[in-house]
Structure 1
Amino acid sequence: MSNQLYDLAEQLEKAIRACHDFQQLKQAYEAVRQDEMAYRLFTNFRDAQMRMHEKQLTGAEIFPEEVEHAQKAMILAQQNEKLSQLMALEQRMSMLLADIQRIAMKPLEELYRSFMETE
């Protein structure tokens, strides 16, 4: 039975790669890569996000100037049309994957809920 689940997961991967939202996201990434200014803004924004995320995970202190730098990088990225479109498409794809995860987790959630109700 678990092999069947892996087969279904691989089918899901192929379906995600083929879906319109993913294809649009790939095109948006390529458009950013081809635009030197957009790519520079993107890498600056991504690097600032990654530094902040790493500090959050490790519990390291985040200094106000780091927050300010990350906010400025985000504002500049949002003002770029290609990056703004990329972020919107990433958000749409993220929501789709969250919905898929919610559906996949439903059997476990129902099991846990039924277990808690028997107490």
Structure 2
Amino acid sequence: MANIYDKAHELSRTLRDSDEFQNLRNLHAQVEEDEVAKRMLDNFRNVQLELQQKQMQGQQPSEDEITQAQKQFEMVQQHEVISKLMEEEQKMSTVIGDLNKIITEPLEDLYGVPEDQQGQ
């Protein structure tokens, strides 16, 4: 029987070699090399993180904070490389989500699918 951890490492290597990951890595490097793009993306992510932390603490972001976040998002979307990076991040997120579904199928078969996830 195959060692489950060996298979996990094999999957990790396959993911690392995938076109999606390579595209993500290349775009990330481009952003890191561009001081303005890096600063823009860092600022945007900091605003996102602050809003998420507030929400996790049960606080509602102010109208001002929401407007600021929207402006930051619009600004980074206008930067071609950052916009492409965000698209690739979304693709990678979809891949990871799909892999998670596949990996957890045995547990779903055993315990069933929670009612709030049925039909998705």
Q: Using structure 2 for the length normalisation, give the TM-score.
A: 0.87
Q: Amino acid of the residue matched to residue 69 of structure 2?
A: A
CA RMSD of aligned residues (A): 1.7
Deviation sequence 1:52-109 (CA, Å, 0-9, x none): 1111112133111111111111110111101110011001111111100010111111
Counterpart for residue 85 of structure 1: 84
Counterpart for residue 72 of structure 2: 73
More helix per residue: 1 or 2? 1
Matches of 1:11 and 1:77, distance apart in 2: 35
Matches of 2:5 and 2:80, distance apart in 1: 39
Counterpart for residue 107 of structure 1: 106
**Match runs of 1:40-79 below 5 Å:** 40-79=39-78
Matches of 2:62 and 2:73, distance apart in 1: 17
Counterpart for residue 5 of structure 1: 4
Matches of 1:53 and 1:6, distance apart in 2: 33
Counterpart for residue 117 of structure 2: none
Q: 5+ unaligned residues in a row in structure 2: which ranges?
A: 114-120
Q: Amino acid of the residue matched to residue 91 of structure 2?
A: R
Counterpart for residue 25 of structure 1: 24
Structure 1 residue ranges, 4+ long, deviating more than 3 angstroms after superposition? none
Between Structure 1 and Structure 2, how many residues are aligned? 113
Counterpart for residue 117 of structure 1: none
